[in-house]
């Protein structure tokens, strides 16, 4: 039962906060002049990566699930994923400028 509750919690967190940050990012891209129809999905992947890092390093310890596999990501992996997400967030404006 705890596993199911934790799964629902993860889905709610990703859908609500992913939607909020996705719409915020889309507005930022529109202000900058980025074509969100062609390149907005790259920012969405970056948001998912950042949420994965936050969940694995912080949020999984405050949920209902108390079973195996509750470990933080190694520091190198966290830094690599965060750097990759930041790079993915910055790519759409550059692609939009290059293609116009």
Break the chain into its structural domains and give their ranges.
Answer: 2-95
Q: pLDDT digit string (tens) for 2-53?
A: 778 888 888 888 899 889 999 999 999 989 888 888 888 899 999 999 999 9
Distance CA 34, CA 54 (A): 27
Distance CA 60, CA 6 (A): 9
Query: Does the structure show a pLDDT above 70 at 67?
Result: no
Q: pLDDT digit string (tens) for 18-27?
A: 899 999 999 9
Query: Does the structure show a pLDDT above 90 at 72?
Result: no
Q: What is the pLDDT of residue 65?
A: 65
Distance CA 21, CA 17 (A): 6
For the whole model, what pTM was predicted?
0.85
* Nearest residue to 58 via CA among 1, 4, 17: 17
Q: Give the number of other Cβ atoms within 10 Å of residue 61's Cβ.
A: 13
- Average pLDDT of 71-95? 93
């Amino acid at each position: 039962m705890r596993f199911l509750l934790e799964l629902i919690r993860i889905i709610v967190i990703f859908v609500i906060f992913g939607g909020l940050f996705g719409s915020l990012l889309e507005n930022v891209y529109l202000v900058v002049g980025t074509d969100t129809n062609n390149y907005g999905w790259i920012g969405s992947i970056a948001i998912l990566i950042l949420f994965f890092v936050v969940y694995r390093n912080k949020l999984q310890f405050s949920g209902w699930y108390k079973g195996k596999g509750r470990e933080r990501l190694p520091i190198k992996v966290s830094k690599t994923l965060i750097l990759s997400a930041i790079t993915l967030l910055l790519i759409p404006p550059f692609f939009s400028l290059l293609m116009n």
